[in-house]
A and B are shown apart, each in its own frame.
Chain A
Amino acid sequence: MLVAGCDVGSLTGKVVILQDGEILSYSIVPTTPKPEKTAQNAMDAALQKNNLSLNDIEFIVGTGYGRIKIPFANSQISELSCHGKGAHSVLPSVRTIIDVGGQDCKVIKVDKNGKILDFAMNDKCAAGTGRFLEVMARTLELKLEELGPISLESKNQAKITAQCSVFAETEVVSLMADGIEVADIVAGIHDAVASRIMSLVYRVGLEEDLTITGGVAKNIGVVTYLEKRLGVTSKKLSVDPQIIGALGAALTAKEQK
């Protein structure tokens, strides 16, 4: 039985195709201004990998910021439920999930069955999200993927005090002008992101095991600084952390079929 989950986010679209409950293929595509197109692109990319067509998929569940606009979805659920389910399926011992996405970050508390107990979201400002890191990478003229490793080279972390990411950008520019080491500035940026995420964690409460999902989970700097602040090590997932939402949606599709 083939089912699929489609997660249309703000920076990327993801599709996961399950065959009898196991991941058959998945895709991550950049987002377009139209959620319908993003969904289509993601689905096509995932289908192509096994030469499948849309008709082969028996049930599709949509999620993410653009979930209402997915034309081929049979139903849609919130991305928080999906992240909870997806993370739990890969790591049954998980109890706290931090999802740092392109434009929001969420903390989800689940029970031993992967059901959500509580959650907290920040979707009102860019501080603590992928967007913040993108802006900073541009300001520092670095590639987004380079940021994480560079932050770990810092010997003397700079302090970014501005609460708002727009003002933080100004602060970074003046730090650069003052001749502060790039690695130190990047470290400061990562610590600021971690600090913003921390306030969400406090609202929900931390319980191990902890895992981090979403695109930003691939940034070793954010993970390190977050773990430092939390005082616990996060468990790594055996699948790409960026597709956890789509995986959860696909698992829901399997249930709802």
Chain B
Amino acid sequence: MPIELSTSLKNITLLNINSIIYTKLLFYVNPKNNNYKRETELGKLDGVKIMPILEQLKEATQLTNPWINSWKNEGKKVLGYFCSYIPEEIIYAADILPIRVRARTCTDTPMGDAYLSPTACSYTRCCLEQINRKEFGYFDGIVSCNCCDQIRRLYDNIRYKAPFSYHYIMGVPGYVSEITLDWFKYELSKFKVSIEKNFNTSITNEKLSDTIRLFNISRKLLKELYELRKHESPPITGSDVLNIISAGLSIPKNEFNALLTQQLEEIKNKEGISDYKSRIMIIGSMLDEPEYLQIIEDLGGLVVTDSVCLGTRYFWDMVDETTSPLDALGERYLSKISCPRMTDGHMKRAQFMMDMIKEFNVDGVIFQRMKFCAIWWAEIFMLRDKLKEEGIPFLDLERDYILSGAGAMKTRVQTFIEILEAR
């Protein structure tokens, strides 16, 4: 019975969240342990100690989860966003929840193929498909930026074919300099005004500073988590870390910080993983599929660090808390560990990769690039030279947004790990 209740609740939430008002949400989690249940009341999450933290965080990664439900029940807004260059703090300071759009439930993309082209990035095609199928009906709008061709056009197609009530697209400059920084700050101020006007709110400097502090705590905690992975026996796998970071992009930051603090406490005293064959660094673009990393780790390649959108590129750099908040946000978001869409950052990215390899004692690098992604193909083409120079083995994998053809991937990864073992 507990299982049925939770499944039917999940179905209801997927169908029509906004129309159901909860005063108390009772559901059974982890059906195997029948004695555990958790009560939530209007956003207050209780019973954290009862359920393993990691399970809660995994639950938070669901595209519709109890935290979002509570948030909406309080009458608050949610905005979907598409890229790590968008300053979440501005959105959050307006008391709006920023959710990174992930289309994990997509099975096929007929509409995406027709409107974006069959040779467009599968992430964008899946997003368009799921948005069209009203999977994100609870969004009050979307925010995007011109990070790459395909995301730009995704924004256009959404506005025409499956619009929301609010759309905004921000221009992020293509390289870092004083001139472009000025422009980026101008873009941020325009964005702030748009949010304020549209949602009838005011984002004061004080609110912004508070939000920046909150997000910096998050970043610090994630960095602590990564520090633990430097050990010879890291206490956590790469796929679990991806779950944690995905959770952080789907629930309110203060809740996430609380959960993550507890998680850190828990694993600091855990016995580390020592039965792995090699230490892997994974580099690439939008990867939000823990199953992908699971395959690598099941074959013995423990993922200890990364440079991916939902990884170090998301949280590694802090926002300066001492200068004016909008300026600080502009500086941090423009000059953070860059994505290859920035045309001048290749040397810095190559250096960051080498630093990570040294600090985390990485044995081999696995590149994962989305099919048809011009940016990452070129970047990997250049990074390979650096790795060849330094004598670090690497594996170049092509993938789709939703995992398919796992057999082929397993053969390549297994061979790569066998190569690393034989060194």
Distance (Å) between the CB of A30 and the closest chain B CB?
Answer: 21
Complex-state Cα separation, A214 to B222, whole angstroms: 49
A116-141 CB contacts (< 8 Å) to partner B: 116-117, 119, 121, 123-124
Interface size class of B (residues with CB under 8 A): 10 to 19
B415 interfacial by beta-carbon distance below 8 Å:
yes
On whether the beta carbons of B408 and A115 are closer than 8 Å, the reply is no
Q: Is B414 an interface residue (CB 8 A)?
A: yes
In the complex, A78 has a CB within 8 A of chain B: yes
* Shortest distance between the CB of B47 and any CB in chain A (Å): 40
Q: Does A77 sit at the interface, judged by CB under 8 A? A: yes
Q: Is A7 interfacial (CB 8 A cutoff)?
A: no
Query: A124 and B422: CB pair below 8 A?
Result: no
Taken residue by residue from 59 to 96, chain A's Cβ proximity to chain B (1 for < 8 Å, 0 otherwise) reads as: 00000010000000000011111000000000000000
Interface presence of B407 (CB below 8 A): yes
Which of A77, A79, A124 touches B405 (beta carbons < 8 Å)? A124
The reply on B418 being an interface residue by CB < 8 A is yes
A78 to B417 CA separation, bound complex (whole angstroms): 10
CA A80 to CA B408, docked complex, whole Å: 12
B419 part of interface (Cβ distance < 8 Å): yes
Query: Given the complex, which residues of B lie within 8 Å of A81, measured CB to CB?
Result: 415, 418
Q: Given the complex, which residues of A lie within 8 Å of B412, measured CB to CB? A: 119, 121
Bound: A116/B412 CA distance, A: 12
Q: Would you give the shortest CB distance from B28 to chain A, in whole angstroms?
A: 35
Chain A residues near B418 (CB-CB < 8 A):
77-78, 80-81, 116
Give the residue of A65, A116, A121 whose beta carbon is less than 8 angstroms from that of B422.
A116
Give the complex CA separation of A119 and B422 in angstroms.
15
Please measure, in the bound complex, the distance between the C-alpha atom of A123 and the C-alpha atom of B422, giving whole angstroms. Answer: 25
> A121 touching B408 by the CB < 8 A rule?
yes
Assess whether B408 is in contact with A77, with CB atoms less than 8 Å apart: no
Q: List residues of chain B with CB within 8 A of the CB of A117.
A: 419
The residue that A79 contacts in the complex, of B408, B411, B422, with Cβ under 8 A, is B411
Contacts A115-B422, A116-B422 hold; do A65 and B415 have CB atoms under 8 A apart?
Answer: no
- Identity of the chain B residue whose Cβ is nearest the Cβ of A64 in the assembled complex: B411
B411-A123 in contact (CB<8A): yes
Residues B415 and A123 in contact, CB atoms below 8 Å apart? no
Say whether A123 contacts B414, CB under 8 Å: no
Cross-interface CB contact of B408 among A116, A119, A124, cutoff 8 Å = A124
Chain B residues positioned under 8 Å from A124 (CB to CB) = 405, 408
Q: Which interface residue of B405, B412, B414, B415 has the most chain A CB atoms within 10 A?
A: B415
B411 and A121 contacting across the interface, CB-CB below 8 Å = yes
Q: Evaluate contact between A119 and B415: CB separation under 8 angstroms.
A: yes
Chain B contacts with A in 364-423, Cβ cutoff 8 A: 405, 407-408, 411-412, 414-415, 418-419, 422
Contact B419 A116 (CB under 8 A): yes
Task: Give every chain A residue within 8 A of B419 (Cβ-Cβ).
Answer: 115-117
What 0/1 readout, one digit per residue, does chain A (169-199) give for beta carbons within 8 Å of chain B?
0000000000000000000000000000000
Q: Which residue of A lies closest to B398 (CB)?
A: A124
Cα A119 to Cα B418 with chains together (Å): 12
When distances are taken between beta carbons in the complex, the residues of chain B under 8 Å from A116 are: 415, 418-419, 422
Question: Can you offer 8 A-B residue contacts whose CB atoms are under 8 A?
Answer: A78-B411, A78-B414, A79-B411, A115-B422, A116-B418, A119-B415, A121-B408, A121-B412
Q: A79-B411, A117-B419 are known contacts; what are 19 more A-B pairs with Cβ within 8 Å?
A: A65-B407, A65-B411, A78-B411, A78-B415, A78-B418, A80-B411, A80-B415, A80-B418, A115-B419, A115-B422, A116-B415, A116-B418, A119-B412, A119-B415, A121-B408, A121-B411, A123-B411, A124-B405, A124-B408
Q: Which 10 pairs between the two chains have the least Cβ-Cβ distance?
A: A78-B414, A78-B415, A80-B415, A123-B408, A81-B418, A115-B422, A116-B419, A78-B411, A119-B415, A78-B418
